[in-house]
Structure 1
Amino acid sequence: MSKTLLEAAAEVDVIDAAGRIIANPARNAIAAPAATVFALAMATERFWAVCVEAELLARAVRLPMTGNVHDEDVRDDAIQQQTQRVHELMAALRGETPKDEEHATQRT
């Protein structure tokens, strides 16, 4: 993979590109440059990663509260880990660094 393609793909606004393609797929999908196609493919993988981690978080939240301290510690840890993972993935999608995410968390 060329460095030029990676750099060009990094400049693509994937939401805007997706909107253009959806608005007129017959014309805009065919005319999309390789950088746009690559950026959309990368975004799709990243969005899917968020979905997978969010599903795991939902499963952790649904774990039963048994009254057993060990079981509840495992449940709480799973929720905490999955919450952190979803936050990390969302920050990456927004183009934030871990430092940016840390500051955003402190403000809320």
Structure 2
Amino acid sequence: MASQFQIRTKDIPLLVRALQSLETVPDTWFGSVDDPSLISEMKNAARALPVKLRLKTLQLSSLDVLALQQACCYQCLECKLSRQDYKLLEDYSNQFAALLASGNLGMLQ
């Protein structure tokens, strides 16, 4: 049986700040996408995620996980972070990307 992926409670404030940063990211940062409306849908998902994370309502859609992954990427690539925050967000980004690639969101607890 596959191991569960967990978001640690102490990491939630950092993830919330990352999600909030997506609000100001220009759509061009995401590059070329097949469906441009996906960007606004992802940003809308990012607006609701802080509440889900704080309430530990981790029944997340693939769009939610994509928003988390992109928020972590944006922070790592575009923002000044401490080495510790960078490493943490990079690790989460990689794990969210792996979840999206596997299609197994049931591993997220």
For normalisation by structure 2, the TM-score amounts to 0.30
For CA contacts below 8 A with separation 6 or more, give which structure has more relative contact order. Answer: 2
Greater Rg by CA: 1
> Which has the larger share of helix?
1
TM-score, length of structure 1 as denominator length? 0.30
